[in-house]
């Protein structure tokens, strides 16, 4: 099996997200509720899937353009950190969703699965915005402006 590059992982995850979004397309009640202070934001799952699909697709496209088209070398540790945070957040989100669906009971008054999901979403969102995306931008900019070292 050949070595997968970081852009392959982003494209695989974007395809999975699109398939998940399409599987929920017929369910009209398929929404996510985000409570921020006194305001509830109700977002349709398919709209969220579209946004995430294009986000992961464009991140993979950015890596692909820099590596294949521009023939620039990215900093591998920054690429690994960024990829781990974004792919890991996708996996953690679905683990939390499955955990709450499997182990939560509808009649359990003390179990608030929506709160667990919202806390997970907000934690991942903050990690992506304040850690992963600055790493991505820094990595791309360093690769674009770094001069090739010539020996001799």
Report the alpha-carbon distance of residue 70 to residue 68 in Å, rounded: 6
Looking at per-residue pLDDT, the higher value among 35 and 90 belongs to 90
More confident residue, 14 or 109: 14
Whole-angstrom distance, CA of residue 11 vs CA of residue 14 = 5
- CA separation (Å) from 126 to 35, 119, 130, 141? 15, 11, 6, 22
* CB within 8 Å of 115: residues ≥ 6 apart: none
DSSP 3-state of 26: coil
In this prediction, residues 43-66 reach a mean pLDDT of 93
> What does the pLDDT look like over 66-125, one tens digit per residue?
999 999 999 999 999 999 999 999 998 888 888 877 876 665 666 666 777 778 888 898
Q: Tell me, what's the pLDDT at 6?
A: 94
Report the distance separating Cα 143 and Cα 149, nearest Å. Answer: 13
Q: Please say whether the beta carbons of 57 and 10 come within 8 A.
A: yes
Residue 58 binned pLDDT confidence (cut-offs 50, 70, 90): very high
pTM over 0.85: no
Angle at which helix 45-64 crosses helix 76-103, to 10 degrees, equals 160
**pLDDT confidence of residue 10:** 96
Between residues 74 and 151, the one the model is more confident about: 74
Lowest mean pLDDT across 32-36, 46-50, 57-61, 107-111: 107-111
What pLDDT score was predicted for residue 105? 64
Strand partners of residue 39:
36
Helices (H), 24-75: 45-64
The pLDDT value given to residue 111? 62
Q: Residue 35's pLDDT band (boundaries 50, 70, 90)?
A: confident
């Amino acid at each position: 099996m050949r070595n997968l590059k970081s852009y392959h992982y982003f494209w695989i995850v974007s395809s999975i997200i699109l398939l998940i979004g399409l599987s929920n397309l017929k369910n009209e009640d398929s929404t996510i509720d985000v409570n921020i202070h006194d305001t509830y934001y109700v977002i349709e799952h398919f709209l969220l899937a579209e946004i995430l699909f294009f986000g992961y697709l464009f991140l993979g496209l950015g890596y692909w353009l820099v590596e294949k088209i521009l023939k620039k070398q990215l900093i591998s540790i920054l690429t690994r950190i960024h990829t781990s945070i974004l792919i890991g957040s996708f996996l953690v989100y679905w683990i939390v969703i499955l955990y709450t669906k499997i182990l939560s009971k509808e009649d359990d008054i003390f179990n608030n699965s929506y709160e667990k999901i919202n806390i997970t979403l907000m934690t991942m969102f903050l990690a992506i915005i304040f850690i992963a995306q600055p790493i991505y931008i820094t990595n791309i900019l360093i690769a674009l402006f770094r001069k090739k070292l010539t020996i001799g």
